[in-house]
Homo-oligomer: A and B are copies of this chain.
Amino acid sequence: MRSPEALARRFRETDRKVTPQRIAVFEALDSGPGHSTAEQVHRSVTKNLPTISLKTVYEILRELSELGELVMLDLGTGAVRYDHNLALHHHLVCNECGVVVDVPAHLTDLQLDGVEDLGVSVSTAELVLRGSCSRCNTQDPKQPSNK
């Protein structure tokens, strides 16, 4: 995702108003971790802007995704996640702690040539890995006392 300033410019260019709520969401996305849920963004934003409604956050996130400034991701974790990493990448969901790890596409090799034999055409490929993240991987080998 781009900077809050760039997003504000983009909103102005597309005849959208740059309101305090929108600025606050831009900044929350910029400073927060990737892959936040709407709920998490809302919690973060309310620190500066206590009256903003969750509905408004949903609307702003939807607009950002319509503009292609972030991507809505359904990783089967209950709520949609809003991903502001615009580079080509995949995701690993940690089975232990639930964290989502970005996996740059260059670390994987994905060949789909054979698929066209089915008569289908593929426009996007979304790879969801499940396993454990590096943190859980190192702590887990039966070292107690981490919960």
Chain A residues near B (Cβ < 8 Å): 74, 76, 92, 94-95, 101, 103, 106-112, 114-115, 117-134, 137-138
Report the separation of the CA atoms of residues A129 and B125 in the bound assembly, to the nearest whole angstrom: 4
Contacts of A126 in B (CB 8 A): 127-130
Contact residue among B110, B118, B121 (Cβ-Cβ distance under 8 Å from A109): B110
Bound CA–CA A110/B107 (angstroms): 11
Give how many copies assemble into the complex.
2
B108/A120 in contact, CB under 8 A? no
- The distance in angstroms between the C-alpha atoms of A39 and B129, with both chains bound, is 28
Pick the contact of A129: B106, B115, B132, B137 (CB < 8 A): B115
Beyond A119-B133, A127-B127, list 14 extra A-B contacts (CB 8 Å).
A74-B74, A92-B120, A92-B122, A107-B112, A107-B114, A107-B115, A108-B114, A109-B111, A119-B134, A120-B131, A122-B129, A123-B132, A125-B130, A128-B128
